[in-house]
Every structure is written in C-alpha cells, then in structure tokens.
Structure 1
C-alpha cells in the first residue's frame, strides 16, 4: 500500500469517508497522522474539516476525501448534511474513556441511521489511544462485540504512534471496493469531476462575423 499526492486526475476511484465520534477521541489526530505522518496536539474541530489523500490499495489508485466532524453537540445539525453520499464511516472512541464508547451506540449509531443516505455504506469501529494501555478502560473484546452488534469492521489504533492508522483507511477502502454499488459510485464520482474539469477548460465556441 502506498500513498501519492500526484496529479488530481491520476486516480481510478474516488470515495468519501466520514469520521464521527465524541469530542477529543482523536478523530483529527487520526486524520492528520494518516495524511501527513505527523501528530501534534490539535484543538477540537469546529464544524467540519476535510482532507484529501491519494493512495494505492488493491492495485487501484484511490482518492479519499475524508471529512472530520466536530463531536460537540452544538455542531450536530451543521454536520448532519455531511453524511450524504458517504461510502465509508469511521466511528471513533477513546479506549481510556468509557463514555466515548457507550455514546457510540447511544448517540452516534442512531445519528448515522438517521442521516446516512447510502444503504451500502460501510462502517468501521476504531478504538483510538492504545498507546495509553495502562489507562485503558474499554477492552478489545468489548470493542469487537459492539462492532459485531453494529455491523462494523473493527480495529484499534494509536494516532500518536501511528499503530494501525494506515490500516484503518486501507482496510475500509478495500471493503468498499468489494461492494459493486459503491465501486460503481466511486467511478461515477471521478467521471463527473473530470467532466466538470473539461467543461471549465473548453473555451466557448464563438460565431464568426460575416
């Protein structure tokens, strides 16, 4: 698996990924760790932010547009529209904070059901901050059990040490490509983007004067 920041049209498929979960579980850190291989202490996301990553998975060059949503309740109505058209959704919790785990089923799974418009959308449960093993309060087994209950893929990772960070996105992308409908949508997104680009570059045809 490799990553690439080359030309904007140099990819086979385009997918939209959404990160959701409580505030301060490390969604932004996970994204920054994946995009730039660097992790700093980040301030909470205000509303919605997104980043683009080009990578090669399963022999295909992918463009992932990854949306990072705010966990605070006051931004919920703002972020609801960003569920639309998502091909993959990553639900993140902090293994050292029990409330962020219980909120996945109490809050986030319900919100996902309410706002997600793509019935084929793939979900992944991610337990972050495994580098703080001595502070862990949510076991791996509990995470796996909830993932099974919610119909999600499951991984534990650390945005700080980058353990399993790339695997989160690569594994989700691979599974998305296994779903014919999502694969077709990923191709359609790219075709539409290229079509718009060509239309902008094509000069209007002018009539000639007699």
Structure 2
C-alpha cells in the first residue's frame, strides 16, 4: 500500500504543504527524462537512456495548498525492469509515458499499468497516461482517440505532450496536483470513503464524483 503524502505548514502558515512522490514509467526513449527536464528546468534536453533513476523536485503554490513534487524518472530499458517496482513503491502519482510515433510503447505502458494494479489498491494513487512527442504528430502510430479511450476505460488522466515544444507538459503536472489536492480535501471533509473523481483534460474540463459539490 502506498504511504500517505507528508503534510506540514507552508512558510506563511496559511496553507498546508503536501509532499508527493511522482514516478515516470515507460519504455526507453519515450521522452520521460525530457519531460522531467522541461517541467522542472523549462528547457528541452535530449538525453541518453536513464541509468537506474533520476530525481527532481518542483514546488507549486496553489489555492488549496503548497504541493512539492518529488519526481522519480525511471530507466525504461528491459534490464532495469526488475528493480523499477522499488522506485514506484510508496508513490502518490504515476505518469505512464508512451511515444505517439511508436505503438509498441503504448502496449508497454499498458503492461506497466498491470503491474501498478497489483501494487496499489484501486484509486489509491493518481495515474496519468501521457502520449509524448506531439511535435512528431505527422509520424504518429497511436491516434489521440486510442489513448483517450484506454484512459477512459481505466479511469486515468490523459494528455498528449511534447517535451520539445513544451506542449501540455505543465498542464499534465498541474492536473495531477489538482487531483491530489482534491483528494486531500475529500478525505478531510467526507465522513466516509468516497470514490475518486475523474478529470477530463479536453477543452471542456469537467470533474465528477460522489463528493463533487
């Protein structure tokens, strides 16, 4: 079972501070490291395959509290598969990243989801399916609708991104932060456990759930 997010008080003493472990999973060369660099450092870096795991932090000051992400960028090579579960243990959120120009990487993301379903209880963590490399849309092998449909059937967040052009990168991390904060608010206000809400990252962003006001 995942550990609870650590919470405290922000320096201003007004909003709580939440620390969340966020893990990037996916096949090698789908752009996990580039996404992390773009989000944290706001520049594009084409990097060699990650060895083991890289670590980043990012802090967001939002209306509902301060969110500190501890981002773990895992290696995608097959030889590291046996140790990757050690990195996502205790996570509060996971990005399942695939390359829209490579259909096999979506299949691999589905494989990772199966592993996560064995490790975590339903709705215990926030999981986002991320189709990266939108800048190569002319070469795509995975239609947007295919990713959307799979995410919908599994109740995942979904967005297509480009680490190179910065398309959607901040948006998907923001959606994760907002979902995590909403869950904190629901846990604090609801006398009984509540089913998770859903997030639609399309043009008409809607949110439904049994605790929705």
* Unaligned ranges ≥5, structure 2: 1-9, 189-213
Q: Deviations over 1:124-152 (max 9, x none)?
A: 11100001111111111101001012220
Per the alignment, residue 37 of structure 1 pairs with: 42
C-alpha distance 50-183 of structure 1, shift in aligned 2 (>3 A): farther
Distance 1:165 1:45, change over 3 A: same
The structure with more radius of gyration: 1
Counterpart in the other structure of 1:173: 177
CA shift in 2, pair 1:74/1:118, >3 Å? farther
Distance 2:52 2:149 in 1: 31
Q: What's the Cα RMSD here?
A: 2.1
Give the number of aligned pairs: 176
- C-alpha deviation, 1:180, in angstroms: 3.2
Question: Aligned partners of 1:67 and 1:182: how far apart in 2?
Answer: 26
Matched, 1:158 2:162: yes
Greater RCO structure (CA 8 Å; 6+ sep)? 1
| 1:111 aligned onto 2:139 | no
Q: Provide, for residues 33-89 of structure 1, a one-character-per-residue CA deviation record: whole Å limited to 9, x for no partner.
A: 000011121011111111111112334221100111111111112221122221111
Give the secondary structure class of the aligned counterpart of 2:180: helix
Identify the structure with the greater helix proportion: 1
Name the CA distance, whole Å, in 2 between partners of 1:155 and 1:129: 11
Structure 2 counterparts to residues 61-80 of structure 1, below 5 A: 61-80=66-85
Aligned partner (choices 118, 133, 143) of residue 147 of structure 2:
143
TM-score (normalizing by structure 2): 0.76
Runs of 4+ aligned residues of structure 1 deviating over 4 Å after TM superposition are 181-184
Deviation per residue, 1:175-204 (Å, 9 max, x gap): 0111138977xxxxxxxxxxxxxxxxxxxx
CA distance in 1, matches of 2:51, 2:37: 15
Instruction: Note the residue ranges of structure 1 that are not aligned, 5 or more in a row.
Output: 1-8, 185-210
Change (3 A) 1:183 1:128: farther
